[in-house]
Amino acid sequence: MASISRDGGGRRRIQFIGADGKRRAIRLGKVPQRVADSVCCKVEALAAASHAKTPWDTETAAWVGGLDATLYAKLAAVGLVPKREDTGTPTAPTTLGGFMGQYIGGRTDVGPRTKNNMEQASGNLVRFLGADKPLNDISPGDADAFRLHLLGRLGENTVRRHLGRCRQFFRAAVRRRLIQENPFADLRGITVKGSSPDRIFFVTREMAAAVLEACPDPEWQLIFALSRFGGLRCPSEHLALRLIDIDWERDRLTVHSPKTKKYEGKESRVVPIFPELKPYLEAVWFAAEPGTEYVINRYRDTNSNLRTQLQRILKRAGLEPWPKLFQNLRSTRETELSAEYPIHVVCAWIGNSPRVAQAHYLQVTETDFQRAATTRGAECGAPAASQAAQNQAQPRSAVNRDDTHTGRNPLFGKGLRPLTANRGETLRMVVIPPAGLEPATPGLGNRCSIH
């Protein structure tokens, strides 16, 4: 509860108990009683939210958002509202640029690549709206305009990722009580979709052999082999791989994943040393100097742009670059493995979930079509696919003495024997039960048990 006390000269102050159990006071100065009552009511609501550690209600949040700098500073001094960012001007509201820098700088729980992605989304938003735009002036209409701005410049999935990041930024601003509502909250269709057909590509083994032949040294061959035959994420998982992570006795690799380490139990995974990968791993292993820690050493510099270098290697190999250079390699390997092993095993090796694999990795290949066409024909005993199609189109006839019009031997092996007709004969099909040890019962022949 909050109460109003009167000081000399018509001055008023509001007293309340803070979340730490101590009595606090807010001096309002000379104000009318109705103003003091209004402020006292809102102080009660703020104090109750502070005690319960719950968000403010909409009315209270709107009231705080409209406060002048003087009363806001008094509330902040007693811990009822967060202190406003110091932008050099005491009365200035929090700006978009100031908030973005503070938020991203404070995210010490994410890796460098995630922070870089945040900075890209933030940079695009700040350039579009302006760094000095007050945070609480950004509207849902601004979010819509930003989306249209991005669609004219970036791919659809990249736009979706940027908008998802922006919704995350403003959700944090709401939780910090810097704004009342998230302008990106109502945007629909910002979930990243599965890979578009024009960006799906299967890197065949013949193509992989050509690339490996064009690689400049054993380390680059291993980088490519780890992606194509190991399914590792490049470059994060390649650069994290150490010599002590190689278990030659059991033919296994311990792969450390910076991308998933924030999830419990996902810091690393164990991957087989596949036969296709083994010779390239051995070449680097035996060439390593004593005391070497990491498997990849020549290309650890942050200035080593592996994507650009792979494009040069593809050109040297006489190949056109595929849409997503390293992700397509990983996708190809998961597709290959899923044809041989259960999906839960494949996902454990690749380091994703069945849902993600289905949406972004698994492909339908030309081999799948060929196997489907030839396997079915072989099961039916057809000499060729065309003959199988012809046989399927024609109605069956009782050419063979063991055939019926409903299929080959449908009852054979179930204790029943079909009567067969000679060519040119017409015979009504009657199922005759097999003879048993007991004498036949007249009139019940067709209903006796076969067991």
Q: Which residue has the tokens 């036949």?
A: 440
Please tell me whether residues 355 and 219 are part of one structural domain: yes
Question: The sheet that has 252-256: what strands, in order across it?
Answer: 246-247, 252-256, 268-272
Please tell me whether residues 139 and 286 are part of one structural domain: no
Backbone angles phi, psi at 4, to 5 degrees: -105, 130
* Radius of gyration, alpha carbons of the chain: 36
* DSSP letter, residue 294: B
- pLDDT above 60 (res 444): no
pLDDT at residue 17, rounded to an integer: 86
- pLDDT above 70 (res 390): no
- pLDDT above 50 (res 232): yes
pLDDT at residue 405, rounded to an integer: 43
Q: Which among 77, 110, 133 is the end of a domain?
A: 77
Asked whether the beta carbons of 93 and 135 are under 8 A apart, the reply is: yes
The CATH code of the domain that includes 225 is 1.10.443.10
- pLDDT above 80 (res 394): no
Residue 449 falls within a domain, yes or no?
Answer: no
Torsion over CA of 290, 294, 295 and 300, rounded to 10 degrees?
-120
Please tell me whether residues 170 and 307 are part of one structural domain: no
Residue 324 falls within a domain, yes or no?
Answer: yes
Q: Which residues have C-beta within 8 Å of that of residue 391, sequence separation ≥ 6?
A: 380, 382
Share of the chain above pLDDT 90, in %: 36
Please tell me whether residues 12 and 102 are part of one structural domain: no
Residue 113 falls within a domain, yes or no?
Answer: yes
Q: Which helix (H) or strand (E) holds 123?
A: helix 112-129
Of residues 30 and 409, more confidently modeled: 30
Backbone angles phi, psi at 31, to 5 degrees: -135, 150
Of the pLDDT bands very low, low, confident and very high (cuts 50, 70, 90), residue 231 is: very high
Stretch 127-147: mean pLDDT, rounded? 91
Domain count, the chain: 3
Q: In this predicted model, what pLDDT tens digit does every residue of 256-294 receive, in sequence order?
A: 998 888 778 888 999 999 999 999 999 999 999 999 999
Of residues 198 and 319, more confidently modeled: 319
Best mean pLDDT range from 86-95, 251-260, 441-450? 251-260
Of the pLDDT bands very low, low, confident and very high (cuts 50, 70, 90), residue 407 is: very low
Of the pLDDT bands very low, low, confident and very high (cuts 50, 70, 90), residue 395 is: very low
pLDDT at residue 441, rounded to an integer: 53
pLDDT at residue 388, rounded to an integer: 44
pLDDT at residue 76, rounded to an integer: 85
Of residues 134 and 31, more confidently modeled: 134
- For residue 25, the cross-strand partners are 15
Residue 226 falls within a domain, yes or no?
Answer: yes
Please tell me whether residues 165 and 294 are part of one structural domain: no
Angle between helices 218-228 and 325-338 (to 10 degrees): 50
Q: In this predicted model, what pLDDT tens digit does every residue of 329-371 receive, in sequence order?
A: 999 999 999 999 999 999 999 998 888 888 778 888 888 788 8
Identity of residue 328: N
Please tell me whether residues 341 and 295 are part of one structural domain: yes
pLDDT at residue 213, rounded to an integer: 96
Residue 443 falls within a domain, yes or no?
Answer: no
Burial class (CB in 10 A: 0-12, 13-18, 19+), 289: exposed
Q: What's the distance, CA 405 to chain centroid?
A: 53
Stretch 190-203: mean pLDDT, rounded? 74
Q: CA nearest 337: which of 256, 247, 228?
A: 228
Please tell me whether residues 216 and 344 are part of one structural domain: yes
Burial class (CB in 10 A: 0-12, 13-18, 19+), 144: middle
Best mean pLDDT range from 67-76, 79-88, 129-138? 129-138
Please tell me whether residues 320 and 214 are part of one structural domain: yes
Identity of residue 52: A
Residue 90 falls within a domain, yes or no?
Answer: no
Share of the chain above pLDDT 70, in %: 77
Please tell me whether residues 155 and 210 are part of one structural domain: no
Tell me the pTM: 0.53
Please tell me whether residues 212 and 360 are part of one structural domain: yes
Backbone angles phi, psi at 277, to 5 degrees: -90, -30
Stretch 416-444: mean pLDDT, rounded? 51
Of the pLDDT bands very low, low, confident and very high (cuts 50, 70, 90), residue 78 is: confident
Burial class (CB in 10 A: 0-12, 13-18, 19+), 72: buried
Task: Report helix, strand or coil for 91.
Answer: coil
Q: CA nearest 377: which of 390, 395, 364, 394?
A: 390
How many alpha carbons fall within 13 Å on the CB side of residue 137? Answer: 11
Q: Which among 347, 366, 385 is the end of a domain?
A: 366
Torsion over CA of 49, 52, 54 and 56, rounded to 10 degrees?
-10
pLDDT at residue 288, rounded to an integer: 93
pLDDT at residue 37, rounded to an integer: 87
Please tell me whether residues 357 and 267 are part of one structural domain: yes
Residues, the chain? 451
Q: Which among 126, 155, 175 is the end of a domain?
A: 175
Q: In this predicted model, what pLDDT tens digit does every residue of 206-216 receive, in sequence order?
A: 999 999 999 99
* DSSP letter, residue 441: P
Computed over every residue of the chain, the mean pLDDT equals: 80
Residue 140 falls within a domain, yes or no?
Answer: yes
Domain that includes residue 23, residue range: 3-77
Stretch 56-80: mean pLDDT, rounded? 77
Please tell me whether residues 156 and 287 are part of one structural domain: no
Identity of residue 215: C
Cβ neighbours of 155 (radius 10 Å): 12
How far apart are the C-alpha atoms of 84 and 90, rounded to whole Å? 9
Q: Which of 124-128, 233-237, 309-313, 367-371 has the lowest mean pLDDT?
A: 367-371
Q: Which residue has the tokens 């694999």?
A: 357
How far apart are the C-alpha atoms of 271 and 277, rounded to whole Å? 11
How far apart are the C-alpha atoms of 264 and 279, rounded to whole Å? 33
How far apart are the C-alpha atoms of 369 and 362, rounded to whole Å? 15
- pLDDT above 60 (res 446): no
Residue 30 falls within a domain, yes or no?
Answer: yes
DSSP assignment string, 17-52: E-TTS-EEEEEEEE--HHHHHHHHHHHHHHHHHHHH
